[in-house]
Amino acid sequence: GAGVSQSPSNKVTEKGKDVELRCDPISGHTALYWYRQSLGQGLEFLIYFQGNSAPDKSGLPSDRFSAERTGGSVSTLTIQRTQQEDSAVYLCASSYDRGTTGELFFGEGSRLTVL
């Protein structure tokens, strides 16, 4: 596709369950970002992947959160043992970074609701 694709667009889960969110970046983009946007809050950086380098995980809020990027393309964000405070919109973005942050292109997001 032409843009960043995220799935599912909506996910409702029960507290304690694990969830996986998927991001398919723009073809050729070397960098991939995950952000979280909670109601009334700004965008919170979670994790950054660049090529084959070790990811920048400095924004992950707890060890229940993890992410991987396979083959330098598709990424999966996994939240284990979900809590109600995990409810948010999870946004993925990709860019062609070369030396510094390039222009970011965002997906439509995955809205997670933890009951």
Q: Left if phi > 0, otherwise alpha if psi is -120 to 50, otherwise beta: which for 109?
A: left
Task: Provide φ and ψ at 70, rounded to 5°.
Answer: -95, 135
Segment interacting with other proteins (CB under 8 A) among 19-27, 35-43, 60-68, 70-78: 35-43
According to the binding rule CB under 8 A, does residue 106 interact with other proteins? Answer: yes
Q: How far apart are CA 19 and CA 111, in angstroms?
A: 12
Shortest Å distance, C-beta 10 to other proteins: 10
Contact pick of 14, 70, 71, 103 for other proteins (by CB under 8 A): 103
Contact between 90 and 112 under an 8 Å Cβ cutoff? The reply is yes
Q: Which residues between 39 and 78 bind other proteins (CB under 8 A)?
A: 41-43, 45, 48, 50, 56, 58-59
